[in-house]
Chain A
């Protein structure tokens, strides 16, 4: 089974960890994941907008790529015919895979889970899964780590009954999946992450947490904590008591959370893993990340602008804005990403105006580069006891960001 060892507990909150010995059906490489980390977000197995050669240039990659059931469920025939699992099929050669049920970015529509199944939405429509069909899919996918099938349909305002059902079903699925995995041949096995549900009710969250913690899972996923599921204050109130009930030596993942300050607050509370969907969301609106994580970093990145009022931008700039039409400086002058090394804000603005595919390529290459660098900076900050300083710096920019 996967090993998670805490290498440092920060007095300011948060911890450094190392994930190792992740199960591989044919041992291909030694992968050590340094946490806190973000898993590479993909759609259909590809990082949105980026071809493999662009992805290879990205720094500080965690070593784990996130694949979703929803993007492959309608291609079961393809997967069965290929026989060698999704990683090989997609072309992932230097990372392990994590199989998530739903997309971190886009919540599945509410009200489609029934007594015995969970609905997953593929481009062609709805697919219903129970633990047996889910594990059958997983065996074809050959993921290294798998989020157990879960019922996360607990939108803000839903009934207590719905929440209880979600918790019960999720636990039932987990037990069935764990048994199935145990009985499988070693080469067919996967690391199972147990999923904690419970909506915005503390009592249900605690019940789900305590029960899930009793099972022999490799890690924990705190599901349905995103924007449409609960108020912001509730999220931070629930996190602490949940984490208290979880063992120290297993990683905790919080999908659906990606905004720079939210990430720090989550880490402060003891979260180790995230999904890197945030750069994709930012790219989709034509924006580029420009935030800094310390005073020194701010000087180095030196966001160039010929308009003094821009120095007080928040986390990102909107390159659709006409004011960038003649800004011939890169997004960030010291950034080493492909976009900043070769292109200007004026060019990106032009690509957005002319609706060219290239806009997405450039913005995504910058945004993912920036986000991965941020996570590396977080790990360094925990190491050097400057996490609180970083949080203050990020908070200031958070206040200036229009949301």
Chain B
């Protein structure tokens, strides 16, 4: 079993530039007193982690906000953790299969209260539309197993969604995964070829390379559009690609409306 002190000791020896507190995270669909217990414990463990950190000058310890899907608990947690003045803050306890309706509300609640001058890191996100939406709600950093895990199952990511390269649809598709993608896989191989080798280990690598490139490029496009003051335009254009019939899910339109972005109808 891991204690806050042991977790920090291991992270100090790993030497990562950013390290995470040990938090007590419950599944996002949990209800009842366990959620509150976990939230309070996470605050106490944050304090123990800060105390145990032997390399605060070299490694940045991030707090992880908990509180499940309860607005009161989450707000309390954010306010307490801000007092500890860590170099950055993670939004935790989400990305566990909860309703998107609850998800975005907890994200925006967290970003509303978290300091503007420090990075906000939403853990476990994710899908392209979630990345775009969370950026609109004020998130700065993400991590997710999704691009590489789905690659190992033969799925390639593009703006409009996913290509399941195991499918016979791709038997004679000699195009790359994405004609505009500069990654090694798209520069050298076709969908049809990836389909042929889908059971070979190397296909997992090739699709992983593409999927990671896709994620990195998406974030670059988001940054670029923000720099050019065209972020809302980018969001609208991107969502049009994902939902060509403009049948946007209501949680998405509400989330974006909350930050004054209206999707095309």
List residues of A whose CB falls within 8 A of some B CB.
43-53, 71-72, 75, 77-78, 81-82, 89-91, 123, 357, 360-361
Contacts and interface: CB of A to CB of B under 8 A. Distances in A.
The interface centre, meaning the residue of A46, A48, A52 with most chain B CB atoms within 10 A of its CB, is A46
Contacts of A44: 196-197, 199-200
Interface string B195-236: 111011110111001000000000000000000000000000
B192 A78 contact: yes
Contact of A51 (B152, B174, B184): B184
Given A81-B174, A91-B188, A91-B189, A48 B197 contact: no
10 contacts: A45-B196, A46-B200, A48-B200, A48-B201, A49-B201, A49-B202, A50-B202, A75-B171, A81-B174, A91-B189
Report, as a range, how many residues of chain B touch the other chain. Answer: 20 to 34
A31 B215 CA distance: 41
Interface of B: 152, 171-172, 174, 184, 188-190, 192-193, 195-197, 199-202, 204-206, 209
A78 B171 CA distance: 6
Contacts of B174: 81-82
B interface secondary structure, majority: helix
The interface centre, meaning the residue of B174, B192, B196, B206 with most chain A CB atoms within 10 A of its CB, is B196
B202 A123 contact: no
Contacts of B195: 78
Nearest to A52: B188
A45 B197 contact: yes
A53 B184 contact: yes
B195 to A, nearest CB: 8
A60 B195 CA distance: 30
A75 B172 CA distance: 9
Given A46-B202, A50-B202, A78 B188 contact: no
B201 A78 contact: no
B189 A77 contact: no
A88 to B, nearest CB: 10
Contacts of A52: 184, 188
A75 B170 CA distance: 11
A89 B193 contact: yes
Nearest to B205: A51
Contact of A361 (B184, B196, B205): B205
A91 B188 CA distance: 7
